[in-house]
Structure 1
Amino acid sequence: MKTIKSLFLSVASLLLYGITSAQSINQREVIFKSKADSITIGATISSPIKAGKYPAIIIASGTGPQDRDGTMAGTKMFARIANFLTPKGYVVLRMDDRGVGKTTGEYRYATTADFALDVLGALQFLKTEKNVDLRHIGLLGHSEGGAVISIAASQSKDVAFLISLSGLASNGLESLLVQNENLVNTSPMTAVDKKRSNEINRLMFATAFQYAKSDSMESKLNAVYNYWKEKDDLYFKSLAIEHDHFRFPIWSYVQQAIGPWYRYFISYDPQIFLSKVDVPILAINGSKDVFVDPINLNYWKQYSRSGLYGKVTTILLPNVNHLLQPCETCTPAEYAKLGEIHESTLGSIVEWLEETVK
């Protein structure tokens, strides 16, 4: 196990100043070591300009390689969060995912558990910062980042609180089933193709779950698909429709499923980790989130020790999507048109922090 001193590799000498909400903040680029072997992480720390000890927050991203600013659909979610919270008296660390920016490693070979090690590396680094209140270091996770912070918090007594933004608290199999049905059911596909898509998705996900730890997963997935395809061809012929436009991307799905991330994710059981977490939790979801269903708010309460002690606060935002944007159609195609996370949502986070942390 690395010592805290050895976790710190280097700090960039460049000091950046930003003006946010009519107040100045310090932004500093840093590099530190993950708790995983050989991974170094590039990050930005935003700090209040006034000297003192402040609560600190580490941001964990969702699925897919993202930069430290959380650039998604034309928005910079994590930069906006940092720039909003820091003038209110919080140190915020946001980092590049593996293989992005100044972080080493390859994203495709990592799992949710590996991302939790990266967060724990950030936690160890923050403990060396003079302006951080060591009693109040928390984690904020978006989407899959909810699972990341759950794993990290279960493995460290230094985590003081958790904030979930559209964060995953369901098991991996349920998450994939619900997410894909939501996406299919809100798509422009015909009713017939929606039925076929949901059917093959459920079949493939169940097979991947059953063989997640088996060397035979690839052959099992292909065999199940071929079995379904024979039946589906007969079904489509019975409909007397001239052209079949439905295609299941069998090759690309199998290549994804046999990789380390998918094998871990589909087997992920949040209760294993959240049952060890008893710190205050704030969980926020949009009612129109098609990626992380709002039912996850219930799971933060049900699965965590925090829930047993009444230390979980949940907020359901009406007509809000996965990026916490007020939405109209609320489909992913609309995200780029909607702008940043709403200030009222960020205000709710600050209000909870003021009551719970400070």
Structure 2
Amino acid sequence: MKCFVFIFLFFSAISSNAQEDKIFKVASDSVSFKSADDKIVFGGTLSKPVGKKSFPTLVMVSGTGKQDRNGTMAGHKIFEQIATYLAEHGIAMLRTDDRGVGKTSGIYETATTGDFAKDALAAVAYLKSRKDIESGKIGLMGHSEGGAAISIAAAESEDVKFLVSIAGLAMSGLDAQLKQNADIVAASSLPDYDKKRSNEINAIMFKTAFRYASSDSLEMKLNHAYQQWKVKDDAYFKTLNIQFDHFRFPIYNYVQNSKGPWYRYFIQYDASKTIAKIKVPILAINGDNDLMVAAEDNLANWKNYALVGGNKNVTTAKIPGLNHLMLPCKTCDNAEISKIQSGFSKEALTLIKDWIYKMISDKRKHQ
């Protein structure tokens, strides 16, 4: 997810099937398919367990920022690690390059979260066209903003049979911006008076962007809101009797980004209405040290919003000591990620694998 500033641990009783503890060889094949309107060609990798005829399949949906099919972030190939582990344990995964990356065409910068949901459904449609994939066992896995994208996709299509959220967003766009940036500010080394100023201007700008997201006057309204705050803030800073003011809000960059289609769509995204439409099983996992997608708030929303729509089949887990990429961390900020030697949490991988098999087993019992 993007930012603009410089609950317990719960596991449902998930029993693993001894048959699924078998380690399979992995076949990873390059694949290509088109969007529903034939305008975009997707390049990806389908990883499958060798020698297994029946298996569930996941489509990986990335978070904010152009990413390759392996989910390469700060030296960590997060999606490749997940796909390899799951395929070794009998679960297939399709992961693709984002729009404008690698073998995938299209322009990432003009796409919205809604477009990424359509991309996920294009991947589902491709899997359904293959004879080696069971259409009744296709689910989506979303990371970060990908949590919103898979929610939109599942709310719109009955082809999606289950969801797995890893640090996935289950907050509305405005709330997510406010919470994410407040958490980043709180964890920063800024003096208290600059933390106060950061939270104040962030709230003003985010709420203004939300109010005028559909308006042609958005740029003017944002600049006006900033100038009004700046006058008051300059007067406030003088009362502090501090010689130099080091605080800067990136007003130009923020306004330019806010004018784009992605931000206009995202700031208006309503997670409560979207998730209430989802009728399939959901697993949501977060690390408790995630500064980008707050664990407690988002995990609670997955459950509560789904319940509003009558969906009680939601399992949530908060795993201690993990950051936004589900890596073990100490400072847990973005600067630390490239220094972390460990890979994606084995605890999270095991939980995902066991939940998928239990979910499929429960579904069979009720058929």
- TM above 0.5: yes
Find out whether 1:329 has 2:331 as its counterpart: yes
**Letter of the 1:129 counterpart:** R
Unaligned runs of 5+ in 2: 1-21, 362-367
CA RMSD of aligned residues (A): 1.4
Q: Is the 8 A contact 1:283 1:297 kept in 2?
A: yes
Equivalent-residue separation in structure 2 for 1:51 and 1:64 (angstroms) = 35
Aligned equivalent of 1:122: 123
Shift of 1:249: 0.6
Give the percent of matched residue pairs that are identical in Structure 1 and Structure 2. Answer: 51
Aligned equivalent of 1:6: none
Aligned equivalent of 1:349: 352
Q: Deviations over 1:268-304 (max 9, x none)?
A: 0012221221111000011111100111001111112
**Letter of the 2:62 counterpart:** S
Equivalent-residue separation in structure 2 for 1:235 and 1:51 (angstroms) = 67
Aligned equivalent of 1:206: 207
Q: Is the 8 A contact 1:69 1:94 kept in 2?
A: yes
When normalised by structure 2's length, the TM-score is 0.89
Shift of 1:51: 4.8
Q: Is the 8 A contact 2:29 2:45 kept in 1?
A: yes
**Letter of the 1:66 counterpart:** Q
Find out whether 1:151 has 2:152 as its counterpart: yes
Q: Is the 8 A contact 1:279 1:306 kept in 2?
A: no
Q: Deviations over 1:79-125 (max 9, x none)?
A: 00000001211120001111110111111100000001100000000
Equivalent-residue separation in structure 2 for 1:255 and 1:153 (angstroms) = 31
Higher RCO structure (Cα 8 Å, ≥6 apart): 2
Q: Is the 8 A contact 1:286 1:324 kept in 2?
A: yes
Equivalent-residue separation in structure 1 for 2:23 and 2:161 (angstroms) = 29
Q: Is the 8 A contact 2:47 2:87 kept in 1?
A: yes
Q: Deviations over 1:51-102 (max 9, x none)?
A: 5132110000000110000011211110000000012111200011111101
Q: Is the 8 A contact 1:166 1:292 kept in 2?
A: yes
**Letter of the 1:190 counterpart:** P
Equivalent-residue separation in structure 2 for 1:37 and 1:302 (angstroms) = 37
Decide which structure has greater strand share: 1
Equivalent-residue separation in structure 1 for 2:139 and 2:168 (angstroms) = 15
Secondary structure at the aligned position of 1:225 is classed as helix
Count of residues in Structure 1 that have an aligned counterpart in Structure 2: 338
Secondary structure at the aligned position of 2:161 is classed as strand
Find out whether 1:340 has 2:350 as its counterpart: no
Aligned equivalent of 1:175: 176
Q: Deviations over 1:121-141 (max 9, x none)?
A: 000000012221111100000
Matches within 5 A, 1:208-287: 208-287=209-288
> Where does structure 1 differ by over 3 angstroms across 4 or more consecutive aligned residues?
305-309
Secondary structure at the aligned position of 2:162 is classed as strand
Shift of 1:350: 0.7
Change (3 A) 1:306 1:202: closer
Change (3 A) 1:309 1:280: same
Equivalent-residue separation in structure 2 for 1:144 and 1:243 (angstroms) = 38
Q: Which moved more, 1:160-169 or 1:23-32?
A: 23-32
Q: Is the 8 A contact 1:47 1:86 kept in 2?
A: yes
Equivalent-residue separation in structure 2 for 1:226 and 1:276 (angstroms) = 41
Equivalent-residue separation in structure 1 for 2:129 and 2:326 (angstroms) = 33
